[in-house]
């Protein structure tokens, strides 16, 4: 789970954070990401070709990373589940639990 808020602006700059994110994507492990988390995924280079929700102001950043920005409360792309912000928590977590059950 990669949090939203302002933290991703900072954690994306840590090589260990990028390494951990790439590890999950390279091994197709489930990832839940919310709000500004797309910044960390973009820095790790894992968004290209994906569909993702994010905080709406990040739509240009998502597109610049090669992904499709989707303005929805829960977007499932393979084993990645994304959402815009905290009001989307119920739908986002419901979809992530479905992903976890499917792979588990």
Which residues are marked as active site?
A: 35-36
Give residue for tokens 């290209």. Answer: 48
Q: Say how far apart CA 6 and CA 11 lie, in whole Å.
A: 9
Q: Say how far apart CA 24 and CA 48 lie, in whole Å.
A: 15
**Alpha carbon distances (Å) from 90 to 3, 22, 51, 61, 94:** 15, 26, 20, 25, 6
Q: In angstroms, how far apart are the furthest CA atoms of the chain?
A: 34
């Amino acid at each position: 789970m990669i949090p939203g808020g302002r933290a991703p602006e900072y954690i994306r700059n840590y090589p260990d954070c990028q390494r951990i994110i790439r590890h999950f994507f390279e091994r197709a492990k489930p990832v839940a990401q919310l709000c500004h988390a797309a910044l960390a995924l973009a820095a790790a280079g894992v968004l290209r070709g994906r569909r993702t929700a994010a905080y709406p102001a990040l739509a240009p950043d998502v597109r610049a990373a090669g992904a499709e920005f989707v303005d929805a409360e829960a977007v499932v792309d393979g084993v990645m589940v994304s959402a815009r912000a905290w009001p989307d928590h119920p739908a986002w977590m419901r979809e992530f639990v479905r992903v976890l059950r499917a792979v588990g």
